[in-house]
């Protein structure tokens, strides 16, 4: 990659050529359905995350579901539903998961030892809390960040650019 060699611009054939990232933009059916589906899938993902401790679900699955929802949104609307770069979720997720492990260690218990208990309120009845949920939240953030980072990186590739080895 010497500085002398300037990248050759793709030959544009008028405006018919799709730009990277606008795969199916302005497809009205997709756009309409995605709006509803996005909200539903997101809700379901959060539900999965929440109930993961006692029923099928958990941070990994919820993260994958969220990734699907966000990719759908991106494909339908051409822009990310998030205001931030998803890559930023990764360090925060790792930090959160690590901290939930570190806190019990600093309190003199084994690393990552989780704790749980019950709260009873008039409104919700008996309610179980578990620190494992925080760990799961970290997993969720990492999975969302990683999945979206992958997908967005691929979406942003200009399909006309090929790398060595392709033919």
Cα end-to-end distance, the chain, whole Å: 20
Rule CB under 8 A: say whether 92 interacts with other proteins.
Answer: no
Extract the tokens encoding 156: 């942003």
Q: Tell me phi and psi for residue 67, to 5 degrees.
A: -60, -45
When binding is defined by CB under 8 A, the residue of 15, 121, 124, 167 that contacts other proteins is 167
Instruction: Say whether residue 5 binds other proteins (CB under 8 A).
Output: yes
**56 lies in the binding site for other proteins (CB under 8 A):** yes
3-state secondary structure of 102: helix
* SS3 letters across 66-89: HHHHHHHHHHHHCCCCCCCCHHHH
- 83 touches other proteins (CB under 8 A): no
Binding site for other proteins (CB under 8 A): 1, 5-11, 13, 48, 52-61, 64-65, 67-68, 71, 87, 90-91, 93-94, 97-98, 101, 111-117, 128, 130, 132, 135-136, 138-139, 142-143, 145-147, 149-151, 153-167
């Amino acid at each position: 990659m010497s500085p002398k060699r300037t990248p050759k611009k793709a030959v544009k054939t008028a405006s018919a050529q799709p730009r990277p990232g606008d795969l199916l933009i302005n497809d009205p059916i997709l756009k309409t359905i995605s709006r509803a589906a996005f909200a539903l899938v997101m809700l379901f993902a959060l539900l999965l995350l929440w109930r993961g401790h006692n029923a099928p679900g958990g941070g990994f699955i919820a993260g994958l579901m969220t990734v699907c929802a966000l990719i759908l949104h991106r494909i339908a609307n051409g822009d990310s539903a998030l205001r931030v770069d998803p890559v930023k979720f990764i360090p925060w997720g790792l930090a959160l998961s690590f901290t939930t492990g570190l806190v019990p260690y600093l309190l003199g218990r084994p690393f990552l030892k989780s704790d749980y208990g019950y709260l009873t309120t008039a409104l919700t009845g008996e309610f179980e809390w578990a620190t494992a949920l925080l760990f799961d939240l970290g997993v969720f953030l990492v999975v969302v960040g990683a999945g979206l980072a992958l997908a967005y990186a691929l979406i942003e590739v200009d399909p006309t650019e090929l790398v060595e080895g392709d033919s």
